[in-house]
Structure 1
């Protein structure tokens, strides 16, 4: 009897996330280390989890998700213009660079430098894959149910 992914399953799987142009944004197979997931623990969005529900151990599948179901749309409120003086003087700011910013509560948050113009630096705090349609490819290696 094959094991199916249920709402309380623990899952060992490989995944690849591809962008609209077919480029790979992330993949566990590149590192040869599968991901572990406890369904419902919040580590995946509900839409990603919904794609996994019902899949059987040993199967491969592919799903296409729009921005609303994947990493969300680009939120213009998450794009900030900062003065260059807020950055270390010796820090070379390049478009596309990802920097870590400390939030008021002490948590770290990544931001992507989108533009540097004179004394103005544009920083995007959206998820790097926000606004993208993605293809989510999975290979289910093992499924365990609670109590099994």
Structure 2
């Protein structure tokens, strides 16, 4: 049996770690030993992350450095919102550094980071927490299906 290489429509089961420039881990599937599963092109990873996986086979381990624009993008000022403090309650207090899930009109939750609280105004940042950061993407391919 030949080893299948990851192609445009492959289903891939893999472990990954995302590290910041200082070497600290931002995310890893190995923490709970629960590998990730994706179908290439399904939108769960950015096109640039997927390009890193193309051509790899089960058993391959690889590490890639990605610039912010190739990873989680640059922070977008349009993703910063000012919310009235009265919208927060005792169960979700407006505290700097807190990450709160905000329900969108379609019913999905979007996490926002509270950046500032000034009087009745709360600044909420909906950019990805890793936006603007160079990351190192380490993968260990466990299985490839075409």
How many residues were matched structurally?
Answer: 145
Query: Quick check: 102-111 or 87-96, which moved more?
Result: 87-96
Cα-to-partner distance string for 1:60-88 (whole Å, 9 max, x where unaligned): 00001111111111001111122211222
Gaps of 5+ in 2: none
Separation (CA, whole Å) in 2 of partners of 1:114 and 1:34: 32
Separation (CA, whole Å) in 2 of partners of 1:91 and 1:100: 9
1:54-69 equivalence runs, <5 A: 54-69=55-70
Given the superposition, is the C-alpha separation of residues 90 and 10 from structure 1 closer, same or farther in structure 2, using an over 3 Å criterion?
Answer: closer
Which segments of structure 1 move beyond 6 Å, counting only runs of 4 or more?
none
Given the superposition, is the C-alpha separation of residues 89 and 31 from structure 1 closer, same or farther in structure 2, using an over 3 Å criterion?
Answer: closer
1:1-148 equivalence runs, <5 A: 1-88=2-89, 91-145=92-146
TM-score by length of 2: 0.93
Task: Give the C-alpha shift of residue 135 in structure 1.
Answer: 0.5
Task: Give the C-alpha shift of residue 119 in structure 1.
Answer: 1.8
Task: Give the C-alpha shift of residue 89 in structure 1.
Answer: 5.3
Query: Quick check: 33-42 or 106-115, which moved more?
Result: 106-115
**Aligned-CA RMSD value:** 1.3
Separation (CA, whole Å) in 1 of partners of 2:11 and 2:91: 46
